[in-house]
C-alpha cells in the first residue's frame, strides 16, 4: 500500500518534494496538499495530479505522514489548528521549517507526537538536494525510516544526533546554495570586467562550478588536493588564491556561516 502523505503548505519546498516523490513513482492520489493560494493549488493539481485542499485539516485527515512546509512565522497557528486531529490520529509529523524545534512543534500539536525535523535545500527541485534530519524521542525506527525514505526522493539524507546542530545544518546546506549563487554572480561580474561578453562569462562560470562540484563529489579526494592540482607554482591560480587569502576569505566564510547559525538559534528562541 502506498503511504498517504499530506503536505501542509504547497510552496517551493513542498513542490520540490512532491516532484521528487512523483518522479519516483509515488501514487499522486496518495499525496494530499493544503495550500490557500488558488493558483498554486491548481498548479500542483495539474502538474502532479495530487489532491489539493484549501484547508490544512482537510488535507491532513487520515494521512499517515504530515509534512509541514509552511513558513516558520505561520507554523504555530497551523500546528494549533491541526492539534485535535494530531491527538486523534498520531501521524508521523515532518517539519521542514528553519529554526523551529521538535519540542515546540510537539507542544503546539498537543504533545506526544512523533516529530522529525528536516532541513532540505533548493537543489531538491532537481533531485540534487541534501537533507539533514533529526527525530524526537517519540519517533520509532519505522518513523525514522519513513522520514529518510521520503526525503531521499530529492537527494541523500544525513541524520543529526543533537538537535542543537540543526542550526549549523541550516547554515551550511540549507542556505548554502545561495552562497554558491553569490560566488557565481561575483565571478560573472568579474569576468565581464575583464572584457568577456556577459553570455560567455555566464557560460564559463556555470560550467566551472558544475565541473568543480562534480569533481568534489565523484573523485575521492579532498577539496584541498583538488585545489592544489589547479594551482601551478607562480601561475594564475596562485595569484587569485593569494588575493582571496589576503582578503580574509576563510574568515569571512566562517563569520557568514556563524551568523546564519546564530540567526537559526534566534528564530528557535523567538518561537519558544
Ligand atoms: N527555500 C529554501 O531554501 C528552504 C526552505 N525551507 C523551509 O521550508 C518552509 C517553506 O518554505 P518555502 O517552500 O520556500 O516557502 P513558500 O512561501 O514557497 O511556501 C509556503 C506555502 O505555505 C502556504 N501557506 C501559508 N499559510 C498556510 C496554511 N495555513 N496552511 C497551508 N499552507 C499555508 C503559502 O501560501 C505558501 O505557498 C519554510 O519553513 C522554510 O524555512 C527549508 C529548507 C530550505
Ligand atoms: O533563509 C532561510 O531562512 C531558509 C532556510 C534555509 C534556506 N532558506
Contact 16, 124 (CB under 8 A): yes
For 9-18, what is each residue's pLDDT tens digit?
999 999 999 9
> Looking at residue 205, what is its pLDDT?
98
Nearest CA to ligand 2 atom 1: 175
What value of ipTM does the predicted structure carry? 0.96
Pocket of ligand 1 from Cβ distances under 6 Å: 8-14, 34-37, 40, 56, 69-72, 74, 78, 96-98, 119-122, 174
pLDDT digits (tens, 9 = 90+) for 200-240: 999 999 999 999 999 999 999 999 999 999 999 999 999 99
Helix (H, G, I), strand (E, B) or coil at 56: helix
Q: What percent of the chain has pLDDT over 90?
A: 89
Q: How confident is the model at residue 1 (pLDDT cuts 50, 70, 90)?
A: low
Residues in contact with 150: Cβ distance below 8 Å, sequence separation at least 6, in sequence order? 3, 5, 17, 21, 65, 67, 94
Domains for the chain: give ranges and CATH numbers.
5-166 (3.40.50.720), 176-268 (1.10.3730.10)
Task: Confirm if 149 and 92 have CB atoms less than 8 A apart.
Answer: no
- The residue whose CB lies within 8 Å of the most ligand 1 atoms, and thus the one to mutate among 71, 171, 172, is 71
Cα diameter, the chain: 69
Amino acid at each position: 500500500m502506498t503511504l498517504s502523505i499530506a503536505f501542509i503548505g504547497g510552496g517551493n519546498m513542498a513542490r520540490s518534494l512532491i516532484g521528487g516523490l512523483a518522479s519516483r513513482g509515488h501514487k499522486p492520489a496518495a499525496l494530499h496538499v493544503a495550500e490557500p493560494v488558488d493558483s498554486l493549488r491548481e498548479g500542483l493539481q495539474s502538474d502532479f495530479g495530487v489532491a489539493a485542499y484549501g484547508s490544512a485539516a482537510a488535507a491532513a485527515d487520515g494521512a499517515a505522514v504530515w509534512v509541514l512546509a509552511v513558513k516558520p512565522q505561520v507554523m504555530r497557528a497551523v500546528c494549533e489548528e491541526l492539534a485535535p486531529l494530531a491527538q486523534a490520529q498520531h501521524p508521523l509529523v515532518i517539519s521542514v521549517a528553519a529554526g523551529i524545534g521538535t519540542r515546540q512543534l510537539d507542544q503546539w500539536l498537543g504533545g506526544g507526537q512523533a516529530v522529525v525535523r528536516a532541513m532540505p535545500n533548493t537543489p531538491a527541485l532537481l533531485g540534487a538536494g541534501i537533507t539533514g534530519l533529526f527525530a524526537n524521542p517519540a519517533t520509532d525506527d519505522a518513523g525514522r525510516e519513513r522520514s529518510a525514505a521520503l526525503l531521499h526522493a530529492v537527494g541523500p539524507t544525513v541524520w543529526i544526533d543533537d538537535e542543537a546542530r540543526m542550526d549549523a545544518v541550516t547554515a551550511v546546506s540549507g542556505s548554502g546554495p545561495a552562497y554558491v549563487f553569490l560566488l557565481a554572480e561575483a565571478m560573472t561580474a568579474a569576468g565581464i570586467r575583464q572584457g568577456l561578453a556577459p553570455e560567455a562569462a555566464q557560460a564559463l562560470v556555470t560550467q566551472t562550478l558544475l565541473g568543480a562540484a562534480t569533481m568534489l563529489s565523484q573523485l575521492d579526494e579532498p577539496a584541498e588536493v583538488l585545489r592544489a592540482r589547479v594551482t601551478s607554482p607562480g601561475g594564475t591560480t596562485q595569484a587569485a588564491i593569494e588575493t582571496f587569502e589576503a582578503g580574509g576569505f576563510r574568515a569571512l566564510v566562517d563569520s557568514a556561516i556563524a551568523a546564519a547559525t546564530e540567526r537559526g538559534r534566534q528564530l528557535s528562541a523567538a518561537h519558544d
